[in-house]
A and B are shown apart, each in its own frame.
Chain A
Amino acid sequence: MNEPAAEQVREEARAWLAEHWDSDLPLAEWRRRLVSSGWGCPTWPAAWFGKGLSEALGEVVQAEFRRAGAVGVASSGVRMLAAATLLEHGSEEQKARLLPRILTGEDTWCQLFSEPGSGSDLAGLTTRAELNRDTWIVNGQKVWTTSAHHARYGMLLARTDWDVPKHRGLSFFVLEIEQPGVEVRPLRQMNGHASFNEVFMTDARVPRDMLVGKPGGGWQVALTTLAHERRLADGMRTWGQAERGEGRVYRELREEQARVMEPYKWYPQRAGRVDLILPVARASGRLPDPVVRQEIARALMLERAAQWTARRARAARALGQPPGPEGSLGKLAASVVARAAARAHAAAVGPDALLAGENAPAEGMVAEVLLSVPAISIAGGTDEIQRNIIAERVLGLPKEPRDDVDVPFRDVRRNPSNVSR
Chain B
Amino acid sequence: MSQLSFSDEQRQFRDFVARFFREQSPVARARELMLSEAGYDPELWRRLGGELGLTGVHVPEAYGGQGFGAVELGIVLEEMGRVAYCGPYFGSAVLATYALLEGATAAQQERWLPELAAGGVIGSLAVAETGGGWEAETVRASARQSAGRWRLEGTKSYVLDGRIADFFIVAARESGSTGAEGLSLFVVQAGAAGLEVEPLQTIDATRRLSRLRLSGVDAELLGEPGAAAPALRRVLDRAAVALASEMVGGAQALLDSAVSYAKLRVQFGRLIGSFQAIKHRCADMLLAVELAKSAAYGAAEVAAREASADELGEAAALAKALAAEAFLQAAVDTIQIHGGIGFTWENDTHLYFKRARGSEFLLGTPAEFRDRFVEYVSAREAAHE
- The answer on a CB contact under 8 Å between A397 and B259 is yes
Asked whether any CB of chain B lies closer than 8 Å to the CB of A387, the reply is yes
- Among B2, B278, B293, B370, contact of A293 (Cβ-Cβ < 8 Å): B370
> Which of B113-121, B283-291, B344-352 binds A?
B283-291
How far, in whole Å, are A389 and B2 apart by their CA atoms in the complex?
Answer: 29
Asked whether any CB of chain A lies closer than 8 Å to the CB of B127, the reply is no
Considering only residues 275-325 of chain B, those with a C-beta below 8 Å from chain A are: 275-276, 278-280, 282-284, 286-287, 290-295, 297-298, 318, 321-322
Query: Which residues does chain A contribute within 8 Å of B322, judged by CB atoms?
Result: 301-302, 305
Asked whether any CB of chain B lies closer than 8 Å to the CB of A306, the reply is yes
- The answer on a CB contact under 8 Å between A315 and B286 is no
- The answer on a CB contact under 8 Å between A333 and B287 is yes
Asked whether any CB of chain B lies closer than 8 Å to the CB of A249, the reply is no
How far, in whole Å, are A400 and B268 apart by their CA atoms in the complex?
Answer: 13
Query: Which residues does chain B contribute within 8 Å of A315, judged by CB atoms?
Result: 3-5
How far, in whole Å, are A5 and B381 apart by their CA atoms in the complex?
Answer: 35
- The answer on a CB contact under 8 Å between A304 and B318 is yes
- The answer on a CB contact under 8 Å between B274 and A332 is no
- The answer on a CB contact under 8 Å between B5 and A395 is no
> Which of B68-76, B162-170, B173-181, B372-380 binds A?
B372-380
- The answer on a CB contact under 8 Å between A336 and B273 is no
* Interface footprint category on B: 35 or more
How far, in whole Å, are A401 and B371 apart by their CA atoms in the complex?
Answer: 46
Asked whether any CB of chain B lies closer than 8 Å to the CB of A297, the reply is yes
- The answer on a CB contact under 8 Å between A391 and B297 is no
Given the interface pairs A396-B259, A401-B270, the reply to whether A305 lies near B371 with Cβ below 8 Å is: no
How far, in whole Å, are A292 and B51 apart by their CA atoms in the complex?
Answer: 50
- The answer on a CB contact under 8 Å between B278 and A397 is yes
How far, in whole Å, are A200 and B381 apart by their CA atoms in the complex?
Answer: 49
- Among A298, A332, A388, A399, contact of B370 (Cβ-Cβ < 8 Å): A298
Query: Which residues does chain B contribute within 8 Å of A392, judged by CB atoms?
Result: 279
Minimum CB–CB distance for A168 against chain B, Å: 24
Query: Which residues does chain B contribute within 8 Å of A293, judged by CB atoms?
Result: 370-371, 374
How far, in whole Å, are A311 and B298 apart by their CA atoms in the complex?
Answer: 10
Asked whether any CB of chain A lies closer than 8 Å to the CB of B239, the reply is no
How far, in whole Å, are A304 and B287 apart by their CA atoms in the complex?
Answer: 14
How far, in whole Å, are A344 and B9 apart by their CA atoms in the complex?
Answer: 41
- Among A290, A300, A305, A384, contact of B292 (Cβ-Cβ < 8 Å): A305
- The answer on a CB contact under 8 Å between A397 and B378 is no
Query: Which residues does chain A contribute within 8 Å of B293, judged by CB atoms?
Result: 309, 312
How far, in whole Å, are A401 and B321 apart by their CA atoms in the complex?
Answer: 39
Asked whether any CB of chain A lies closer than 8 Å to the CB of B22, the reply is no
Asked whether any CB of chain B lies closer than 8 Å to the CB of A322, the reply is no
How far, in whole Å, are A316 and B6 apart by their CA atoms in the complex?
Answer: 10
- Among A290, A309, A318, contact of B291 (Cβ-Cβ < 8 Å): A309
Residue interface bits B355-376, CB-to-A below 8 A is 1, else 0: 0000000000001001101100
How far, in whole Å, are A301 and B295 apart by their CA atoms in the complex?
Answer: 9
- The answer on a CB contact under 8 Å between B291 and A333 is yes
How far, in whole Å, are A329 and B288 apart by their CA atoms in the complex?
Answer: 10
Given the interface pairs A306-B291, A315-B4, A391-B282, the reply to whether A400 lies near B374 with Cβ below 8 Å is: no
Asked whether any CB of chain B lies closer than 8 Å to the CB of A61, the reply is no
Considering only residues 380-405 of chain A, those with a C-beta below 8 Å from chain B are: 384, 386-388, 390-392, 394-401
Asked whether any CB of chain B lies closer than 8 Å to the CB of A189, the reply is no
- The answer on a CB contact under 8 Å between B318 and A391 is no
- The answer on a CB contact under 8 Å between B286 and A394 is yes
How far, in whole Å, are A386 and B276 apart by their CA atoms in the complex?
Answer: 12
Residue interface bits B1-31, CB-to-A below 8 A is 1, else 0: 0111100000000000000000000000000
Asked whether any CB of chain B lies closer than 8 Å to the CB of A36, the reply is no
- Among B4, B274, B280, B295, contact of A387 (Cβ-Cβ < 8 Å): B280
Given the interface pairs A308-B294, A308-B297, the reply to whether A400 lies near B276 with Cβ below 8 Å is: yes
Asked whether any CB of chain A lies closer than 8 Å to the CB of B262, the reply is yes
Chain B residues near A (Cβ < 8 Å): 2-5, 259, 262-263, 270-271, 273-276, 278-280, 282-284, 286-287, 290-295, 297-298, 318, 321-322, 367, 370-371, 373-374, 377-378, 381
Given pairs A301-B295, A395-B282, 11 additional interface contacts (CB within 8 A) = A278-B381, A294-B370, A301-B373, A308-B2, A309-B294, A311-B294, A315-B5, A319-B5, A391-B282, A397-B282, A398-B263
CB<8 Å pairs between A and B, sample of 19: A278-B381, A297-B370, A297-B371, A298-B370, A301-B295, A301-B370, A305-B292, A305-B318, A308-B298, A311-B2, A311-B3, A329-B286, A333-B291, A336-B287, A384-B276, A386-B283, A395-B283, A397-B273, A401-B274
Sorted nearest first, the 4 A-B pairs with minimum C-beta distance are A297-B370, A315-B5, A391-B279, A308-B294
